[in-house]
Chain A
Amino acid sequence: MSLSRFLIKRSLQGLFVIWGVITVVFGLRFISPGDPANVLLPPDVDPEVRAQVIAELGLNEPLYIQYWEFISGVPVGDLGLSLVTRTPVTARVLAKLPATLELAIAATVVAIVIAIPLGVLSATRRHEPADYGATVFSLVGISTPNFWLGVMLIIVLSVQFNLFPTSQRPIGFDGIVGLLTSGNLDAAIDGFGTWLWHITLPAITLGTYFTALITRLTRSGMLDQLGQTYVRATRAKGLPETLVRYKHALRNTLIPVITVIGLQLGTLIGGAVITEAVFAWPGLGTLIINSINARDWPVLQGSLIVVAVGFVLVNILVDALYAYVNPQVAYD
């Protein structure tokens, strides 16, 4: 199967998944407790005012009409209006997406940069102190809840030693690019410094579990590959050990690692909720929490659709990369 046919097939599957997510999320609002009108208005508000607000929000329409109105807007990017701010959901969600993407990608970069070398080191120095160190690190990393880690990093590194800010995102990557394109190089460099300074702790917090996971995966994959007969054959052929390890063994190890990285990146986009709350990071996670608290269903639906789309896209991308990394894998 050609790459383009593969992408079309996977995209259609992805659309089906996204439709499923939309339908489930839409259905959830009707079995969840709490009427949006009761959250938006005090309980003793005049019944007429309540009825007006409910009508204005379209909450008194039959279910199938509400569903149709919602789903028919999705293909054209119309996710409706927020119940609380009455602003378009699409704009609101898209405004938050860069912050979450930045955080997810930064966490992934932290994870890849640390985990793959560490995993390789651990596998090639098996039963040596470096291996024990890496193993203990990954055990601790996997077992540490990230809300605790985030709070601890803030208390120690921010409050105690004053090395990092506790929270906020004063400038985004889009802002830095904006400065760059306007030719203001010094400001862009300053902006990048500020951005890096603010994103370091959230990225570490979000990425630690991920780092530990990839370290373990790389270590066990490498050990597995290094024991294979083809590795023995390459060694027997007289290839230098570096080439054996990095060209042959590592490349094969990376196949499952890339799968996990892809899946985890999708998870990170939707799973940064706690980290965002701890660092007051203005991304999708914060938006999701606020919209749940306010029963702002359109915003919640919109956020989850974006997360679902992100997840599906990353998965398609990972599958496409798969064949690139391992030509034995065919697009089917």
Chain B
Amino acid sequence: MADNNSHINRRSYLKLAGGAAASAALAGCTGDDGEGTETTTTAGGGNETETTTTPSENGDTFDVTITQGQMPSGLDPHDHRETPTTIVVLHAYEGVLTRDADGAVQTALATNYERIEGENAVRFDLREGVTFHNGDELTPEDVAYSINRVVDEEVGFASPQSDQLAGVAGAEAIEGENAVKVNNDGLNPIVFSEFATYLDVMQQSWVENNDKSYIAQNVNGTGPFKLDSYTEDEVVVFSAYEEYWQERAAVDTLTFRAASEASTRVNQLLQGETDVIVNVPPQEVSRINNSDNASIAAAPSTRIIYNGLRYDLEPFDSVKFRQALNYAIDLESIVQNILGGFGAQTGQPTLPEFVGHNPDIDPYPYDPDMAEQLVEESGYAGAEIELNTPVGRYLKDLEVAQAVVGYIDELPNVTATVRQRDFGSLVDELLAGSIEKRPPWFLIGWGEATFDGGLVMEALLASDGTLTTWKNDEFDSLLEQAGNQSGEEREATLQEANALAHEQAPWIFLNQQFSVYGVNNAIKWEPRSDERIDAYAMSQP
């Protein structure tokens, strides 16, 4: 059910919500090899849709070990912002809402969610008979407390997740009912999307009776797995929670480990020491696929990799020059040969799975002659340019950057070089606050939690966006217009904006990143586009 009763300026709202939606947009990828996260979101609210995942069809239980690039920074679900931690804690904690593998909103601890007429508030009716791992029953007070613990510094601590629930002012239990009322600062049109992606429910008394370090080392959620043991930086062991409100998990013992070296993870998988590994580098794919006991599973992620070009600097101020750079690179070859096919070419800022994607736009073709001619026409023949790239942040980022520069440098009238950058310092420059302080040409990736092309373009291409290096009045006004629209009308406007971005080439369009996993053949599991690894959905083939 879409929110059609929105009368606020959607653009200004989206700006506010941007922080929440793009939770991990840039820095979320804190793992190695470009480990990143975004969670699938679709705006809207509605009635109960039962969760569809079933654990085990044949009833047998089995053990699973998952090896990520790094261990969680702690187990307090409200005190982190990294994917590896999210993946671990979401096995033990749950929200009122959740998402299926395709990103559709589903109910979890709530059975019904709706707006309260006449108020800037929503209500969640809670499921009966849900218990925490310590045996206590879930109460509306627990849910309200959890929400307040995130959004209100006075309740507990300053959660680094407070902006993930942007627009949420606080929550309270509704007296006499098994329900919670959430108050919003304004209408908050994407409130249900936020709750489907974020907010893990904790038990109020358990949090209040224990200190912070205990909470960071222990777990008391309502999820399908309860904590058996946790050794910081080494291992987390869960076991199936027998009293789970849904069917008991088919996975009996669930172990999380980490190995920062990709080749170590691959060897562990091939040796049968682990069952699922993250971020398999392309050169290791054949070794896994040729083995008897494991294979590759990949899914498109919601992360787009691109080259930002500063519109106010020579030679990037010329549309023809920017287009020339897009014609100069053989993107198909980059995707096939460097990314091993684990990527998709892009030609617009919006990914195919997102709202606002324009299906009529193809990526720029590889045409070095055209590129050379456009450089001549731009008047910038002989230009010398330097690409700033992070190393080891995104899948094959340096290799992609070197290929891009290699193709451009092959043009007889442009000289291009690569400058390897520390991710932290590059981000410092990108966040400098104004276009003039950002690097002239850089490679970066951006993940978007909401599957909304409008939010991507707001952050990356609107003249006041978080990372923007472009200013185009027509584009700005299209986004402004989309901010006041909804449904198909908004989609059409966003498609128009995508067409304009393609034509004006404020970026060198690169690839959509894929999440590539190695999976033991004894496990049946489909990767999700939100990068969650859901052991509850695992079964045996």
Minimal beta-carbon separation of B259 from chain A (angstroms): 4
Closest to B421 in A: A33
In this assembly, does B233 line the interface, its C-beta being within 8 Å of a C-beta of chain A? Answer: yes
A46 touching B162 by the CB < 8 A rule? yes
In this assembly, does A302 line the interface, its C-beta being within 8 Å of a C-beta of chain B? Answer: no
Closest to B74 in A: A85
Closest to A35 in B: B428
- Chain B residues positioned under 8 Å from A282 (CB to CB): 233-234
Minimal beta-carbon separation of A302 from chain B (angstroms): 13
Q: A43-B25, A86-B212, A167-B259 are in contact. Are A52 and B158 (CB under 8 A)?
A: yes
Q: How far is the CA of A277 from the CA of B32 in the complex (A)?
A: 12
In this assembly, does B467 line the interface, its C-beta being within 8 Å of a C-beta of chain A? Answer: yes
Q: How far is the CA of A2 from the CA of B100 in the complex (A)?
A: 74
Taking CB atoms and an 8 Å cut-off, the chain B residues in 300-355 that contact chain A are: none
Closest to B158 in A: A52
Closest to A81 in B: B213
A34 touching B260 by the CB < 8 A rule? no
- Chain A residues positioned under 8 Å from B232 (CB to CB): 85, 87, 92, 95
In this assembly, does A155 line the interface, its C-beta being within 8 Å of a C-beta of chain B? Answer: yes
Taking CB atoms and an 8 Å cut-off, the chain A residues in 259-303 that contact chain B are: 277-280, 282, 286-287, 289-290, 293-295
Binds B, one of A18-26, A157-165, A187-195: A157-165
In this assembly, does A84 line the interface, its C-beta being within 8 Å of a C-beta of chain B? Answer: yes
- Chain B residues positioned under 8 Å from A167 (CB to CB): 259, 264, 267-268, 273
Binds A, one of B16-24, B40-48, B238-246: B16-24
Minimal beta-carbon separation of A274 from chain B (angstroms): 9
> Which of these, B158, B213, B263, contacts A56 with CB under 8 Å?
B158
- Chain A residues positioned under 8 Å from B158 (CB to CB): 49, 52-53, 56
In this assembly, does A28 line the interface, its C-beta being within 8 Å of a C-beta of chain B? Answer: no
B466 touching A166 by the CB < 8 A rule? no
Q: Hey, what's the 0/1 contact readout for A123-143 against B, CB within 8 Å counting as 1?
A: 000000000000000000000
Q: A43-B26, A49-B160 are in contact. Are A92 and B261 (CB under 8 A)?
A: no
B22 touching A42 by the CB < 8 A rule? yes
Q: Interface residue count for B (Cβ, 8 Å)?
A: 51
Q: A158-B267, A294-B30 are in contact. Are A42 and B81 (CB under 8 A)?
A: yes
Closest to B153 in A: A52
B267 touching A154 by the CB < 8 A rule? yes
B30 touching A39 by the CB < 8 A rule? yes
- Chain A residues positioned under 8 Å from B24 (CB to CB): 42
Minimal beta-carbon separation of B131 from chain A (angstroms): 29
In this assembly, does B104 line the interface, its C-beta being within 8 Å of a C-beta of chain A? Answer: no
A159 touching B27 by the CB < 8 A rule? no
> Which of these, B233, B267, B425, contacts A96 with CB under 8 Å?
B233
- Chain B residues positioned under 8 Å from A289 (CB to CB): 260
In this assembly, does A65 line the interface, its C-beta being within 8 Å of a C-beta of chain B? Answer: no
Taking CB atoms and an 8 Å cut-off, the chain B residues in 59-83 that contact chain A are: 70, 73-74, 79, 81
- Chain B residues positioned under 8 Å from A86 (CB to CB): 74, 79, 212-213, 216
Q: Which of A39, A42, A151, A168 has the most CB of B within 10 A?
A: A42
Q: How far is the CA of A289 from the CA of B166 in the complex (A)?
A: 34
In this assembly, does B423 line the interface, its C-beta being within 8 Å of a C-beta of chain A? Answer: yes
Q: A33-B422, A34-B425, A44-B25 are in contact. Are A168 and B273 (CB under 8 A)?
A: yes
Chain B residues packing against A (C-beta within 8 Å): 18-19, 22-28, 30, 32, 70, 73-74, 79, 81, 153, 158, 160, 162-163, 166, 212-213, 216, 232-234, 257-261, 263-264, 267-268, 270-271, 273, 422-425, 427-428, 430-431, 459, 466-467
Q: Sample 24 A-B pairs with CB under 8 A, ordered by A number.
A: A34-B423, A34-B427, A34-B428, A38-B424, A38-B428, A38-B431, A42-B19, A43-B431, A43-B466, A43-B467, A46-B19, A53-B160, A84-B73, A86-B74, A95-B233, A165-B271, A166-B264, A167-B264, A167-B267, A167-B268, A280-B258, A282-B233, A289-B260, A294-B73
- 12 new A-B contacts, CB < 8 A, other than A85-B74, A277-B264, are A33-B425, A41-B160, A44-B466, A46-B166, A53-B158, A84-B73, A166-B267, A166-B271, A167-B273, A277-B260, A279-B264, A293-B30
